[in-house]
């Protein structure tokens, strides 16, 4: 069972920072999940929220600032908001990267285009995820060799009779653990690579026996101890 560090080791260190990613690698995570947005000068940055306020105190959108301006902000512990280039350089294939494209109607296509170009020679260890189907379809159009993750948080998505045919181009399904009973009942664990999020201390013995591919957690040590 794969252990994915959500926004790095984000329970103990500032989320989506190089420090959180470094600590996740040191802890032995199989993969790192992070969030992609586009700066004003079209640099791919690692940041979750659509506002900088919660993390940095600045009431602006990440897309409104240049990379240089974003680098001056402190997301915690004196860290900086990193770029995708920095994470790729840090990881060097020592863990799988799952890059979640944050949907913004005005920037998502350009973000997909730049990201696809940056990772085109790293597809053995870099993958892309999103909740939004438009993003996934566009990324598939740009490069059908990129492994895609469909993020799912609604039961209605799993219960759709066309679910499996609709997402035939998707490699993984990253599903809210609150939907685990539906996943088990439908037998998805036997037919698909499923990653549950966010896992804390749930007993996943039934799911592992049924073929659970992986879990995503803010604190990876629990998962590593229970592989």
Catalytic residues, by residue number, are 6, 48
Match 């993390």 to its residue by tokens.
Answer: 55
DSSP conformation class of 179: G
- Residue count of the chain: 227
Residue 47: half-sphere exposure toward Cβ, Cα within 13 Å: 31
On whether the CB atoms of residues 215 and 194 are closer than 8 A, the answer is no
Tell me which residue of 30, 143, 174 sits closest to 96, measured CA to CA.
Answer: 30
Tell me how far apart the alpha carbons of residues 227 and 224 are, in angstroms, rounded to a whole number. Answer: 5
């Amino acid at each position: 069972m794969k252990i994915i560090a959500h926004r790095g080791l984000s329970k103990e260190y500032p989320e989506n920072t190089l420090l959180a990613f470094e600590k996740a690698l040191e802890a032995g995570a199989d993969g790192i999940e992070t969030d992609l947005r586009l700066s004003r000068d079209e640099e791919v940055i690692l940041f979750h929220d659509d506002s900088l306020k919660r993390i940095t105190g600045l009431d602006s959108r990440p897309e409104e600032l240049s990379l240089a301006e974003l680098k001056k902000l402190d997301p915690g512990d004196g860290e900086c908001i990193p770029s995708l280039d920095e994470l790729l350089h840090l990881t060097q294939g020592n863990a799988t990267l799952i890059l979640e494209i944050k949907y913004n109607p005005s920037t998502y296509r350009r973000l997909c285009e730049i990201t696809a170009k940056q990772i085109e020679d790293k597809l053995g260890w870099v993958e892309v995820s999103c909740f939004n189907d438009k993003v996934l379809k566009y990324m598939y159009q740009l490069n059908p060799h990129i492994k895609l993750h469909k993020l799912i948080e609604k039961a209605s998505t799993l219960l759709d009779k066309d679910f499996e045919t609709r997402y035939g181009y998707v490699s993984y399904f990253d599903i809210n653990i609150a939907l685990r009973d539906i996943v088990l009942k439908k037998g998805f664990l036997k037919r698909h690579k499923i990653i549950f999020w966010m896992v804390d201390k749930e007993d996943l013995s039934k799911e592992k026996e049924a073929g659970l591919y992986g879990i995503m957690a803010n604190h990876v040590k629990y998962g590593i101890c229970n592989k």
